[in-house]
Structure 1
């Protein structure tokens, strides 16, 4: 593991130097932490222990996707990390960090406004009772360095003036058109995106690898969506539509990165969201297979007016227990 670099979204770089049982962490070249392991228990020494403990946890879970928890012996336990949920007590005076809890902490991956603090008030839309949705965010929403790919994966909101031409190009690609059936002119696609921009239940996003756009995503609140009659949609269930437009960003390894990032962002955005759903065409076996490998399950098939669809479901609990975020 000697000399592993992990860039952080704020521009700093975490350097991991050492082996399986002894390592040093440096942040922007400055010593942050020394750690030694004896009988599976880590002993830590460092400055700014809240930051050091977070950085130690991040490097462990990012470098080893199979690592589920860390056992620590601490001379002084930062109370704020217990309150945040990063640390929890273990028998014998030890402390533990659980992978499933670490990845639910929103900082530093999520940026911008979030739905989580928006108060709950129920309203009616087209005869459906649902929570009033928070104003849509703008700009970058999520950023994380994918250690396996060696690339940044990020999500930002779609900007019609900036993204219309590429959206039009992507939708008119035969591979995309086969499943989306949204071919059209620039004017038609401007109308399409403007309708969604005015719709409070849909958020349009652009996915980027190393800040280069490669995909278009729609996230929708299921309770107000056309999917609602086909399953028991909860108040904060969210659904996704997905389109990879650039050919050089296709493949299972890329899907694992961007699909995990998309689900991660939506679960960080709103802690009350317990399920993420999708309704790919039932004969899109490749996409369904990708989703199943990443923890989605196929609950059933059903008929939309325009397609036979597979209802794919991912739960918050299952995602954070099994996620391979790196």
Structure 2
């Protein structure tokens, strides 16, 4: 699958978040960021498309900074080959200070520069509750495992992102025992899913299964949706407290994941290139101390391993769980953001797992 292409200078819109309630509109060389029906920022693209002039900006520095962040996300998505944006901040010194002090921009040779790897680490645009900070570090013991104290698990929606090559929003919400049990039950009894999960069974079995995951402080079960349509189930875990910990040198904030794509309509490369990096993005944003994301797919699941390699995961080794032979795979935070893996590569995944 090709990267999202720049479709020219015709009118187009890019909803950011979508929970920051901002939309970026482009028409010709003008960009306008609207938040809550109010224009927060107007920009002009110079002939050099990486240079932007501020035509109008909100007097509220935080509002204006959020709008700059939104416009940068849209432009980097529309122009995936761009590696920076230069913002002319003449007469806008307070805004420039806000952008640099918040870490969104850097000063380079007297220019205010926005980098994609900084823009995509701003929590506000994608997390439903970006003000929920990670807990200060305090190590505790659980079942003989020493690990940092974890924050209480969230509820409801946690993440949303507009996918330009699908013209659709992907979101993740915490699974709910009553509302989502029927989905999990149907998906776990799918023959394709059961071949790797081995969790087929009756409704009571799956009620107990999901209740156990919800009660486990080191695991977070999520339902993925495209628009309003649920398509998959994801289990996120802290590696330090997980069964994977004895098989490698797990760091305190390493995180891992399991996946069920339950709906056939959402299998395939177009969708993997949306949900897989979005899930990784959420885990990296949720705690800035997370430097590695790990996985342990079945060593025999060759297609999933190919998809993971194309998505930036490195194969570390094969090892034996009691129930399967697995491959340890790992994605580094530095690689995800440095290589801009939230956008699909030219030869992206082709078949859903």
The verdict on a shared fold, with TM-score over 0.5 as the criterion, is: yes
* Distance change (3 Å), C-alpha of 1:182 and 1:114: farther
Hey, what does 1:241 align to over in structure 2?
258
State whether residues 41 and 56 of structure 2, in contact with CA within 8 Å, keep that contact through their aligned partners in structure 1: yes
Hey, what does 2:104 align to over in structure 1?
86
Aligned length: 322
Q: Alignment partner of 1:163: what SS?
A: helix
Asked if 1:62 corresponds to 2:80, the answer is no
Where do 1:208-247 residues align within 5 Å? 208-247=225-264
Q: How does the TM-score come out when normalised to structure 2?
A: 0.87
Point out 4+ residue stretches in structure 1 off by more than 6 angstroms: none
Where do 1:48-59 residues align within 5 Å? 48=58, 49-59=64-74
TM-superposed CA distance for 1:53, in Å, is 2.1
Deviation string, structure 1 residues 246-298 (Cα, Å, up to 9, x no partner): 00000011011001111100111000111000000011111111111111111
TM-superposed CA distance for 1:34, in Å, is 2.9
Hey, what does 2:14 align to over in structure 1?
6
Asked if 1:145 corresponds to 2:155, the answer is no
Where do 1:1-326 residues align within 5 Å? 1-8=9-16, 9-10=18-19, 11-18=21-28, 22-27=29-34, 28=37, 30=39, 32-37=41-46, 40-48=50-58, 49-75=64-90, 76-77=92-93, 78=95, 79-91=97-109, 93-112=110-129, 116-325=133-342
State whether residues 53 and 88 of structure 2, in contact with CA within 8 Å, keep that contact through their aligned partners in structure 1: yes
Q: Alignment partner of 1:309: what SS?
A: strand
State whether residues 105 and 112 of structure 2, in contact with CA within 8 Å, keep that contact through their aligned partners in structure 1: yes
Distance 1:182 1:240 in 2: 17
TM-superposed CA distance for 1:29, in Å, is 8.2
Distance 1:69 1:309 in 2: 39
State whether residues 6 and 59 of structure 1, in contact with CA within 8 Å, keep that contact through their aligned partners in structure 2: yes
* Distance change (3 Å), C-alpha of 1:294 and 1:114: farther
Q: How does the TM-score come out when normalised to structure 1?
A: 0.94
Distance 1:241 1:5 in 2: 34
Q: Alignment partner of 1:319: what SS?
A: helix
State whether residues 52 and 87 of structure 2, in contact with CA within 8 Å, keep that contact through their aligned partners in structure 1: yes
| Structure 1: gaps (5+ residues) | none
Deviation string, structure 1 residues 149-198 (Cα, Å, up to 9, x no partner): 11110000000100111101000000000001111110001111111111
Aligned alpha-carbon RMSD (Å):
1.8
Q: Alignment partner of 2:113: what SS?
A: strand
Distance 1:324 1:280 in 2: 20
TM-superposed CA distance for 1:17, in Å, is 1.1
* Distance change (3 Å), C-alpha of 1:230 and 1:26: closer
